[in-house]
Amino acid sequence: MIIHHVDAFTNELFKGNPACVCVSDAPLDENLMQKIAAENNLSETAFLVKNGEIYNLRWFTPVSKVDLCGHATLASAFVLKSFFEPSQNEFKFSTLSGILTVTYENSVFLLDFPVFELKEINVTEAMSRAVGAKPQQAFLGRDLLLIMENESDIINAKLDFGAMLELDGLITHISAKGGEFDCVSRSFAPKLGISEDPVCGSGYCHIVPFWAKNLDKIKLKALQASARSGILECEMMSNGRVRLGGTAVLYSKNEVFV
């Protein structure tokens, strides 16, 4: 089986968020998929099997299965477009979060994703301790979204992952209004065995609805301010879903023997 190692949400190698993509002729055992993901030791490994006109898609971190992943979905569409179905400009994936569609327009992959309903919750001392500064607001969906005072709180965050493990939500996102960008964010997933997710696509299913409402904008340009960095073109659509746009590059292509 061939594994493609892709850097997603970037057009430069060694930036964006890396993911491995495995395309197999038949479904793999879940235990085997988890072992492969652990061996790859990237934030996500995507497993694809064609099923008629769509692809079954599953995502695994090195320690667990997840229900939604943006950058590995982008990486999957990139691999299919580049190596399997170059004439196709639309790819549909059957996932644990329903049918996801990725379209290819003007050299950009556009991900059509659901949003997570956000409930505002009280800011706590534990939140401040986890991210090194007091959040202005806190919201809980699948993940925890902490709105910080300024961009500096994002870039210079002093993190306490032990404290973060005690917070609600699967992943913790910190976000602030940007200067050059509409918003600047970082994402942390110690509960999934990942200290910092370099560019968390599914996080924008929380981040985009918040900033679209508070900035009164439909389209947003977002910076993920991790060490690798990443840029997303985001849109809050009229049907209540979000569209995330990005590019990807191939780092390596390897054969595995399983």
Let me know how long the chain is. 258
How many angstroms separate the CA atoms of 8 and 18, rounded?
6
> Cβ contacts of residue 9 below 8 Å, gap of 6+?
16, 17, 71, 74, 199, 201, 224, 230, 231, 232, 246, 247, 248
- Buried/exposed code over 56-88 (b: 16+ C-beta within 10 A; e: otherwise): ebbbbbbeeebebbbbbbbbbbbbbbeeeeeee
Active site residue 235: no
In contact, 222 and 207? CB cutoff 8 Å: yes
Own/partner pairs, 185-189, CB within 8 angstroms, 24+ separation: 185/154, 185/222, 185/223, 185/224, 185/225, 186/154, 186/157, 186/224, 186/225, 186/226, 187/224, 187/226, 188/159, 188/161, 188/164, 189/43, 189/61
| Of the candidates 248, 188, 192, the residue with the CA atom closest to the CA atom of residue 224 | 188
How many angstroms separate the CA atoms of 91 and 246, rounded?
15
Q: Which of 12, 30, 39, 44 is catalytic?
A: 44
In contact, 209 and 220? CB cutoff 8 Å: no
* Enzyme catalytic residues: 44
